[in-house]
Amino acid sequence: MKAIEVQVEKISSILQFTCVGKRSYDSYVQLIDLVVSELDKDKETKKVLIDLTKLTDDLSILERHTVGKYLAEKLPREIRIAVVSPRNYLVKMVENTAVNRGVKMFTTSDKEEAANWLEKSSDKY
């Protein structure tokens, strides 16, 4: 199975991941591992924006739940993570599962809204 292609760039204080390819459980696990690896290299960055607007296909509800659990296990708690996805692919199940386990996460279909949420100084969401 071909992994998704991910472009990583630092924009201001935000580490941004732009993804292209086909959604799958394995590609999400690879993406989470990449995010954690990049954060390990850049200890100063505490904000992550993931753009999933160029991904195709979808995950099952169980896969979304499992991705949320995996994200919560891997992501350091001081990190704020925003995910942008087309409205019909919003990953609210991933968000709910991760947030219930202590992750500071927000999903939306609007990239500007995601960036604004990341810039909030408060840990409230």
Hunting for tokens 């591992």 — which residue is that? 33
**Per-residue pLDDT tens over the stretch 51-69:** 999 999 989 999 999 999 9
Tokens for 49, please give them: 């924006």
Q: How far apart are CA 105 and CA 96, in angstroms?
A: 9
**Per-residue pLDDT tens over the stretch 61-113:** 999 999 999 999 999 999 999 999 988 777 788 999 999 999 999 999 999 99
Residue type, 8: V
Give the SS3 label for residue 107: strand
Q: What number is the average pLDDT over the span 112-122?
A: 86
- Strands (E) located in 2-122: 5-11, 14-22, 47-56, 80-84, 104-108
